[in-house]
Structure 1
Amino acid sequence: MKQSQSLATKLAFLSASFMVTSAYAIQSALPQIKSALNVSQPQVEYLVTAPSFAVMFFVVLSPLLQDWFNISDKHIIMAGITIVGIAGLIPSFVSNYMVILISRLFLGAGYGLYNSQAISLISVWYQDHERTSMQGWRSAFEQIGNACTLTISSLLLIYAGWHAAFLVYGLAFAVMAFFAWRVPNDAHSNTTTSDNQQATETISPITNEPVTKISPLVIAILAFVLLIKMDFIGMEDRFPGLAVAINGKTFTGTGTYLSLMLIGATLGGACYGVLQKHFGYVGTIYIGLILLAIANFLFGFGGNSFPIIAAGILLVGFPMQVLTPLIFNILPFMAPMKLQTKVTSFVLIGFNFGAFFSPTADAWFNHLLSQPLNGLGLAAPFRIYGVMMLIIAGLLFMGKHLYELKRMDNTVEKKQPATVHVYTK
């Protein structure tokens, strides 16, 4: 069995994504931080959103730094995880707001430094259905990491105070050690590989020829990820306020529902490989779009019925984590292998900008629908998101890209593998 095929090595590849969403781990400590540091509500919220702002820059800088210093994917991932651990722990020992905010920016820099490599490295080492399954599990590991770090941080907060909540970032060092131990060494994609190192050339399932340039479809993918991320983050952010508007100010169960939503998201990532195998790219994207539209309509038209609103938030994670790995699984066919990290970084900018821009976009939708930014009006934007998902499904059905995806399904199924290995000396 090849080293990269063992279960322990697969877990090591996936472990790199465990800490990627840990910026949200300290959400439960925000009231205590606000009181202890005597800052405003927007200021304390910046401690959660600041990492996403830094990620947008460093997913662009990361491949440039990698080229400049000639660093392999494995080692830049190790460097990024180490920065996450160091920057994440700093607030455990200081009580100055500006120092904590700067440390959170460095935390985001760590995420951005290795996030795209953690995704593209799977495309390099795994092929066909195994790659599809690994991308699905990678997405699931992000949600598992989100849930685990949030739970651990909340427990540390309860028993040891807000400073201790940041100790959860110590997990990054355990992840880094496991990743360094089990993941095979790789050569940088723009350098010549040695006898024991492997480069991969992507073969287009549409033309059956090597992919030599970036497809224009990457722009459409970027717009799509921007939209679905705004939708997902907006629903997460507005659910607590909507729940209180329906159930009263004494309602404290929002955390439970958000945790259950993360479980659904984890299942979505875990099921992606099975869905793609049985329904292909076309069927899987339709499943994701339709379920996402249903979740938005439940949330947007639920009115003052909390069970309907809750059904929407519980459902939204599953299709989101079906569509996310599908996007990253299609990307290898959109660009040459040597440009995979750059294309992945480009798409990750869409995800992070969508998260950052979500509050502004949702406020615009409220204004468009003449709905207030409070009470039941918080649900209004998701009616628009639901309609958008159905429009995208319709455009895909009528457009030429459906034909391309069908060809991709048929070719990948009949002519395995979809990539060929090129060994160089």
Structure 2
Amino acid sequence: MDNKKSIVTKLAFLSVSFMVTSAYAIQGSLPQLKAALHITQTQSEYLVTTPSFAVMIFVVLSPLLQSWFHISDKKIIMLGVFIVGLAGLVPMFVSNYGIVLASRLVLGAGYGLYNSQAISMISVWYEGNERAQMLGWRAAAEQIGQATTLFIAGLLLSSFGWRQSFLVYALAFLVLLFFAARVPDDSKVEAAEEKEEKQEAELKEAVEGEDKGKISPVVYLLILFAFLLVVDYVGMENRFSGVAVAIKGASYTGSSNFLSLMLIGATLGGLFYGSIKKVMGFGTVYFGLILMAISNFLFAYGASHRSFVMLVIGLLLIGFPLQLVSPLIFNLLPDLAPANRQPLITSMILIGFNFGAFFSPTIAEWTNHIMGQPQAGLSLAAPFVPYGIGLLVIALIIFIATRRQAKKN
């Protein structure tokens, strides 16, 4: 039965994207995890970012595994969600940092197995405006999922302790049952194969019939740009709970609530990006970078002056401008490489974002070390002053580069 237009079926499609950002659900528990496992600040932050490393690997491996074992999109998605649920619950039962870290790596493998398939399956099932709408809702589902899992994990932390905060990953099994029951397993395989063959033929024709061209060096700058943006964003997410505990006291467990609210700002940034860009044009990037810099300065000021209000304002502000700047990166890509290289450079940008998330703890640690600041307490906010300055320098470099290019033209 073709019930793809059913609202329940659409919700089932979107439910798997609801879990894909749940790696960040434990950010509010980091101070408690650090104390319980007797680990450093950087080690605790890697519990959040390590899944990003596995995602990068399994996003590439997933279609290969499907091809080798002839697994449908629906089944690979179900396998990925099952792994997320299973690996996510492991830290409830162990106290060894190595095992917990390994479980987080497996968690990332689960995300990587199904993330791209959740997008491609929508592309096969839906067309035109309905497809665009579903893909937009999918992106929103990620933000809502991260906010919701953060909130639930925070409630579990404050009520039962850090171990029970990992119980939030049991939601993956509910998502698995909902998806399995409501999404048919025909998944339009034949249509997908025909579409793939058509795309391959068009690609071959494009390669043979046009100048292959070169990838603009600007792409590599955008990869670095994406890397730095996420280093800053994820770094602030990871360190907020530690700084909040330093201000409010060791018994404070309310960080997850504010981390959830931060994602509302990110969602609004994505929703209003099109309208703001229509008014400001390329100036959107300057607007976004300046707002991100201000959020960094407010966050650092809140820590240095023990002002919890300023700390929270800095946190809540950063998501909105990130969602103004990051879409602009992808919008620039069509002009920076020929059509046959677009999938490649898009993947390169995505890897830049994921590397930024993964290495964020180390970059923050290095920054603390360079500044002569300890990796603890209020000093956890020290890196955000140079981060803010760096964002303003990037904005200035982009401004000078674009002015020079305009003069040449």
TM-score, normalising length: structure 1:
0.71
* Deviation, structure 1 residue 113: 1.7
Which amino acid in the other structure matches residue 223 of structure 1?
L
Q: Secondary structure at the match of 1:20?
A: coil
* Deviation, structure 1 residue 369: 4.0
Task: Please name the residue that 2:17 is paired with.
Answer: 17
Q: Secondary structure at the match of 1:41?
A: coil
Cα separation, partners in 2 of 1:349 and 1:161, compared to 1, 3 Å: same
Q: Secondary structure at the match of 1:219?
A: helix
Moved more, 148-157 or 67-76: 67-76
Contact 1:88–1:166 (8 Å) recurs in 2:
yes
- Counting helix residues as a fraction of each chain, which structure ranks higher? 2
* Deviation, structure 1 residue 308: 2.7
Q: Name the CA distance, whole Å, in 2 between partners of 1:390 and 1:124.
A: 42
Contact 2:215–2:341 (8 Å) recurs in 1:
no
Long gaps (5+) in structure 2: 204-208
Q: Name the CA distance, whole Å, in 2 between partners of 1:292 and 1:268.
A: 12
Task: Please name the residue that 2:360 is paired with.
Answer: 358
Aligned: 1:312 with 2:314 = yes
Which amino acid in the other structure matches residue 40 of structure 1?
H
Cα separation, partners in 2 of 1:177 and 1:250, compared to 1, 3 Å: closer
Aligned residue runs from structure 1 range 106-145, under 5 A:
106-119=106-119, 137-145=137-145
* Deviation, structure 1 residue 334: 6.7
Contact 1:63–1:342 (8 Å) recurs in 2:
no
Cα separation, partners in 2 of 1:199 and 1:122, compared to 1, 3 Å: farther
User: How many correspondences in the alignment?
Assistant: 394
Which amino acid in the other structure matches residue 236 of structure 1?
E
Cα separation, partners in 2 of 1:162 and 1:289, compared to 1, 3 Å: closer
Aligned: 1:85 with 2:88 = no
Cα separation, partners in 2 of 1:55 and 1:331, compared to 1, 3 Å: same
Aligned residue runs from structure 1 range 25-424, under 5 A:
25-27=25-27, 39-42=37-40, 47-69=47-69, 75-91=75-91, 100-119=100-119, 137-156=137-156, 164-179=164-179, 181-182=182-183, 185-187=187-189, 191-193=193-195, 215-216=215-216, 217-246=218-247, 253-276=254-277, 278-279=278-279, 282-302=282-302, 303-304=304-305, 306=307, 307-327=309-329, 344-374=346-376, 376-399=378-401
Q: Name the CA distance, whole Å, in 1 between partners of 2:374 and 2:161.
A: 36
Cα separation, partners in 2 of 1:364 and 1:100, compared to 1, 3 Å: closer
Moved more, 336-345 or 143-152: 336-345
Q: Name the CA distance, whole Å, in 1 between partners of 2:263 and 2:318.
A: 9
Contact 2:266–2:322 (8 Å) recurs in 1:
yes
Which amino acid in the other structure matches residue 79 of structure 1?
L
Cα separation, partners in 2 of 1:163 and 1:391, compared to 1, 3 Å: closer
* Deviation, structure 1 residue 280: 7.3
Cα separation, partners in 2 of 1:71 and 1:396, compared to 1, 3 Å: farther
Which amino acid in the other structure matches residue 360 of structure 2?
S
Contact 1:153–1:168 (8 Å) recurs in 2:
yes
Task: Please name the residue that 2:206 is paired with.
Answer: none
* Deviation, structure 1 residue 70: 5.6
Q: Name the CA distance, whole Å, in 1 between partners of 2:363 and 2:107.
A: 26
RMSD: 4.6
Q: Name the CA distance, whole Å, in 1 between partners of 2:157 and 2:299.
A: 31
Q: Name the CA distance, whole Å, in 1 between partners of 2:4 and 2:404.
A: 33
* Deviation, structure 1 residue 319: 1.7
Cα separation, partners in 2 of 1:166 and 1:256, compared to 1, 3 Å: closer
TM-score, normalising length: structure 2:
0.73
Q: Secondary structure at the match of 2:18?
A: coil
Long gaps (5+) in structure 1: 204-208, 405-425
Cα separation, partners in 2 of 1:56 and 1:148, compared to 1, 3 Å: same
* Deviation, structure 1 residue 110: 0.5
Q: Secondary structure at the match of 1:185?
A: coil
Q: Secondary structure at the match of 2:305?
A: coil
Q: Name the CA distance, whole Å, in 1 between partners of 2:213 and 2:14.
A: 28
